[in-house]
Structure 1
Amino acid sequence: MKVNIKKLSDKATLPTRGSAAAAGYDLYANVSETTQIAPHTTAKIGTGLAMEIPDGYFGGIYARSGIATKEGLRPANCVGVVDSDYRGEIIVAVHNDSDITREITPAERIAQIIIQPYLSVEFEEADELAESERGAGGFGSTGKA
């Protein structure tokens, strides 16, 4: 599948994969200078890219394991969603979960995008729902075997 992508900046870096079998494509910071993110705050970091994601798909924005575990940085909304009809710049809201100021440098890999299919559904209000084995059991209700 081909996804059209547009550079909105000469310094923007096209997404790359770490290996041929990697599901995610790394997104790079399109900043002109180092950006500091104070502890427990969020900074919006542009990628300088816009995409034409095919209908029936979305771009899921996920944390990169390295920057998350080593630096305490992750997408602020945990998983971002880029809809197929969005044509603006892909911006990652990067949150600093650590207790020290962290830095994002120009062209640093800040997140990853996975192009994923989704189902479009219609919700229908009902007076009753079909019975299931679990029923209304919530958090921790299934226990351990």
Structure 2
Amino acid sequence: MIRLLLKIKKVRGFEDLPTPKFMTDGSVGMDLYAALNEVAIIKPFERKKIPVGICIELPKGYEAQIRPRSGLAIKYGITLLNTPGTIDWDYRGEISVIVINFGNEDFIVKRGDRIAQMVFNKIEIPEIHLVNEINSTTRGISGFGSTGK
């Protein structure tokens, strides 16, 4: 298994929050914790930006993706907008997530709640060539729904 060096800096005032971690040996997503000084109430169909109290330093050629937690989705209708959210290797600010409540009841987020997960990927930056034509395929320009249900 390839190991990636991830540097994590906690935001001042949130040093007491758990350091993001993988919850099992097989987890590919590391849990992120809500960095709040007061409770956030998210009403049905409302969205709020929730900081997670960390900044990261990724090596060049990597991205972090921010994804929802499946348990929050199935139990409460809580997910993230802009999913997956991409953290570019050169971003050094605090990470935040955009939480939306698709449930029927208010959802309360408290300091230290596990609110999202972060997954890491090696990325490729393409060399761009502007052309007049591209190769055809059997599928061609058929898009949404063209391959069946």
TM-score, scaled relative to structure 1: 0.93
State the shift of 1:52 in Å: 0.2
Out of 42, 48, 70, the residue aligned to residue 75 of structure 2 is: 70
Distance 1:64 1:93 in 2: 13
Amino acid at match of 2:46: T
Cα distance in 2 for partners of 1:101, 1:122 equals 47
The answer as to whether partners of 1:12 and 1:47 remain within 8 angstroms in 2 is no
Select 2:113's aligned residue among 108, 115, 130: 108
Structure 2 counterpart of 1:2: 5
The residue identity in structure 1 corresponding to 2:15 is D
Q: How far does the alpha carbon of each residue in 1:44-99 deviate from its partner, in whole angstroms, 9 at most, with x for none?
A: 11111000011100110001100111111111112111111011101111111123
Aligned to 1:69, the other structure's residue is in SS state: helix
Q: Distance in 2 between matches of 1:24 and 1:6?
A: 18
User: What SS does the corresponding residue of 2:22 show, helix, strand or coil?
Assistant: coil
- Using the alignment, how far apart are the partners of 1:12 and 1:89 within structure 2? 14
Which residue of the partner structure matches residue 126 of structure 2? 121
Tell me which of 51, 54, 59 is aligned to 2:56: 51
CA displacement at 1:10 relative to structure 2: 2.2
Inter-partner Cα distance in structure 2 for 1:13 and 1:47: 11
Residues 23-48 of structure 1, C-alpha deviations (whole Å, 9 max, x = no match): 00000001122210111111111111
Unaligned runs of 5+ in 1: none
Look up the match of 1:134: 139
Identity %: 37
* Counterpart-to-counterpart distance in 1, 2:38 and 2:6: 29
Name the CA distance, whole Å, in 1 between partners of 2:128 and 2:46.
Answer: 36
Give 5+ residue unaligned stretches, structure 2. Answer: none
The normalised TM-score by structure 2 is: 0.91
Q: Assess if the C-alpha contact under 8 Å between 1:44 and 1:92 holds in 2.
A: yes
